[in-house]
Amino acid sequence: MNSFPFIVQLIIFLFGAIIGSFLNVVIYRYNTGRTLGGRSICMSCGKTLRWFELIPVISWVVQAGKCVRCRSIIPFQYPLVEFVTGLLFLGIVRMYIGLLPNIPLFLWFVVPSIFLWCVLAVIAVYDIRHKIIPDLFVYLFIVISALLLFITPDGFFMPDMWDFLAGFIIPLPFALLWYATGGRVIGFGDIKLMMGIGFFLGLGMGIAAVMLAFWIGAIIGVFLLLAHGKDVTMKTQIPFGPFLILGIAIAYFCQLSFLDIASWFTFFT
């Protein structure tokens, strides 16, 4: 099997979007003392949302991004996280579709991947909102990625040495930079995230993810400088976590290694 019927893909996307709407709740309530239980309410007027206000993406579009009662604006973050989570679910399922005749093996790869990508989505949005990478989620990413190196469908297994060392090699230069500059150039949360990248992607794809993050970050940074002029200076803090996670996404979904990127440049020489 190499593809699902459209209707099955749509159901996977919608299921992902529903999980995305839960991730929005996690992002808003983490570290606020509020639990994850209880009905969803409007952040402005406190109105309990009814079922038709809780349909991922669609409710936001139908309501034109406003609360039905108080007309206050519902942040674009809500439908965006729902939509992207839907795409992540679809992308992950399609990635492992070749395993599908063997359903346990398919689930073995899909379920942890989906969980890790939900964790990364929370980290990215939380870092944009609060300019900090939440410890709980980055530790989940590190520990589960590391465990997945040792646990295979056949049981406990010693991983390839380089896949394991990648978790230490990739953050090392940035940890030294953090130490030398007293944390002014890069945040320690970004270094923790890089450790998880090493365990999750291995050395080749992990280096690709970090390189892509720096390039995309530099391009966006220059763009912000040009677009906002005075308001943005070289000292304006732009969270780096979302760029790292974008880099992970490109490396992971395109299966792009450092060697693939190096080969782009031999094209010019």
Residues in touch with Zn ion (CB under 5 A)? 42, 44-45, 67, 69-70
CA dist., res. 168 & res. 199, Å (int): 9
Residue closer to Zn ion by CB (options 53, 82) is 53
Cβ at position 55, least distance to Zn ion in Å: 17
How near is the Cβ of 73 to Zn ion at its closest, in Å? 10
Nearest residue (CB) to Zn ion, 55 versus 224: 55
Structure tokens at 249: 């996404």
CB atoms within 10 A of CB 126: 23
Task: Give 162-167 contacts, CB < 8 A, sequence gap 24+.
Answer: 162/202, 162/203, 163/199, 163/202, 163/203, 164/199, 165/198, 165/203, 166/198, 166/199, 166/201, 166/202, 166/203, 166/206, 167/142, 167/195, 167/196, 167/198, 167/199
Q: Shortest gap between Cβ of 74 and Zn ion (angstroms)? A: 8
Q: Is residue 8 within a helix (H) or strand (E), and if so which, with residue range?
A: helix 6-29
Alpha carbons 95 and 79: distance in angstroms, whole number: 24
Q: CA 260 to CA 96: how far, in whole Å? A: 21
Q: Of 9 and 44, which has the nearer Cβ to Zn ion? A: 44
Cβ within 8 Å of residue 238, ≥6 positions away:
217, 220, 221, 224
Nearer to Zn ion, 42 or 80 (CB): 42
Q: To the nearest whole angstrom, how small is the minimum distance from the Cβ of residue 69 to Zn ion?
A: 5
Nearest distance from residue 53's CB to Zn ion, in Å?
10
Closer CB to Zn ion, 41 or 143, in the complex: 41
Q: How far is the CB of 51 from Zn ion (least distance, A)?
A: 16
If the CB atoms of residues 34 and 184 are measured against Zn ion, the closer one turns out to be 34
